[in-house]
């Protein structure tokens, strides 16, 4: 299970999991949402500032007790990600507030708390609760109209898993929206199920397998049927260049495990 520790003071997550473009009928959400004109100055960071958290491709710098600056190392523009975060925030979806955007920099709300995955490993939440929280987060996201207003399409996070959910005192907050697109609800649910199944079946995560299997079962029992979205989600997962050959070889078994719960 791999996520970006974009705004957490707690333990860092892993890296993004889904591909950038999403399902075949999905549209990049930025095509429908206007971007912000706000721009953080390059001088926002003091000379010699060091990140307090880092992920696969971004560093996070503390600005003060309320805000952090997240910067992609490869210069990847953050406008699309910020636009979709602002879109879902208009519907009271739990995302970090976005203050400023410029190029590869985004100033966002600083959150207190561990990732949901770390909280589960520490015994602070149960495996069943992990599954139920993800199902609830997906239900709330599926209720938000796609920016384009296209019938049948919703906002797809594309990478919703326990390391991309921060367990704050006010409830779970979803981070790492780089993969967000417009698509089908079944695709998004299927992608989350695939990520759960990957960890459950990966021999290098044997100690976490019982927790992830229970969480996957609870999740699938409390969400929509992912089967219509599974073929596209598995194909997208297979195009993920960050996965190893061993991880790619597990895709058929992941499909089988998911279907065994349905």
Domains annotated on the chain, with CATH: 27-109 (3.30.200), 116-260 (1.10.510)
15-47: pLDDT as tens digits: 333 333 333 344 444 343 333 334 444 456 767
User: Bigger pLDDT: 154 or 58?
Assistant: 154
- Global pTM value: 0.82
Whether 236 contacts 18, CB under 8 Å: yes
User: Worst-scoring range by mean pLDDT, 12-16, 27-31, 79-83?
Assistant: 12-16
Per residue in 218-245, is it b (16+ CB within 10 Å) or e — as a string? bbbebbbebeebbebbbebbeeeeebee
Residue positions counted in the chain: 262
Confidence of residue 54 (pLDDT cuts 50, 70, 90): confident
Confidence of residue 1 (pLDDT cuts 50, 70, 90): low
- Residues whose CB is less than 8 angstroms from the CB of residue 29 and which lie 6 or more positions away in sequence, other chains included: 80, 83, 84, 87, 146, 147, 155, 180, 181, 182
Residue 88 is predicted with a pLDDT of: 98
Measured between its terminal Cα atoms, the distance across the chain in Å is 22
**Residue 69: how many other CB atoms lie within 10 Å:** 21
Confidence of residue 57 (pLDDT cuts 50, 70, 90): confident
Question: In angstroms, rounded to a whole number, what is the distance separating the alpha carbons of residues 34 and 178?
Answer: 16
Beta strands 98-102; 67-72: pairing state? unpaired
Concatenating the DSSP letter of every residue in the chain gives: ------SBSSS------S-SS-STT-EEGGGTSPPP-----GGGSPTT---SEE-SSEEEEE-SSSEEEEEETT----HHHHHHHHHHHTTT-----EEEEETTEEEEE-B-S-BHHHHHHTTSS-HHHHHHHHHHHHHHHHTSBPTT--TT-EEE-S--SGGGEEEETTEEEE---TT-EEE-HHHHHHHHHHHHHHHHH-GGGGGGHHHHHHHHHHHHHTS---GGGHHHHHHHHHT-TTS-HHHHHTHHHHHHHHHHT-
Closest CA to 121 of 170, 167, 157: 167
193-205: pLDDT as tens digits: 999 999 999 999 9
Whether 215 contacts 192, CB under 8 Å: no
Beta strands 58-62; 98-102: pairing state? unpaired
Confidence of residue 186 (pLDDT cuts 50, 70, 90): very high
Whether 251 contacts 238, CB under 8 Å: yes
CA angle (247, 189, 111) in 5-degree steps: 90
């Amino acid at each position: 299970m791999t996520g970006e520790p974009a705004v957490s003071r707690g333990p860092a997550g892993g890296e993004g999991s889904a591909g950038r473009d999403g399902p075949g009928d999905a549209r990049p959400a930025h095509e429908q949402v206007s971007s912000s004109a706000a721009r953080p100055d390059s001088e926002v960071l003091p000379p010699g500032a060091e990140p307090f958290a880092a992920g696969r491709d971004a560093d996070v710098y503390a600005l003060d007790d309320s805000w952090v600056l997240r910067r992609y190392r490869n210069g990847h523009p953050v406008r699309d990600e910020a636009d979709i975060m602002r879109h879902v925030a208009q519907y009271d979806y739990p995302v970090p507030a976005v203050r400023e955007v410029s190029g590869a920099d985004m100033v966002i709300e600083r959150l207190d708390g561990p990732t949901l995955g770390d909280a589960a490993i520490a015994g602070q939440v149960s495996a069943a609760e992990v599954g139920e929280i993800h199902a609830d987060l997906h239900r709330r996201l599926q209720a938000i109209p796609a920016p384009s207003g296209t019938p049948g399409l919703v906002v797809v996070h594309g990478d919703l898993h326990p390391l991309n959910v921060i367990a704050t005192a006010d409830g779970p907050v979803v981070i790492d929206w780089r993969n967000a697109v417009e698509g089908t609800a079944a695709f998004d649910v299927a992608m989350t199920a695939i990520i759960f199944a990957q960890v459950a079946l990966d021999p290098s995560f044997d100690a976490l397998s019982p927790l992830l299997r229970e969480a996957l079962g609870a999740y699938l029992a409390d969400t929509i049927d992912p089967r219509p979205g599974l073929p596209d989600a598995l194909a997208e997962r297979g195009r993920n260049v960050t996965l190893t050959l061993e991880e790619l070889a597990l895709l058929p078994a992941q499909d089988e495990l998911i279907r065994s719960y349905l």
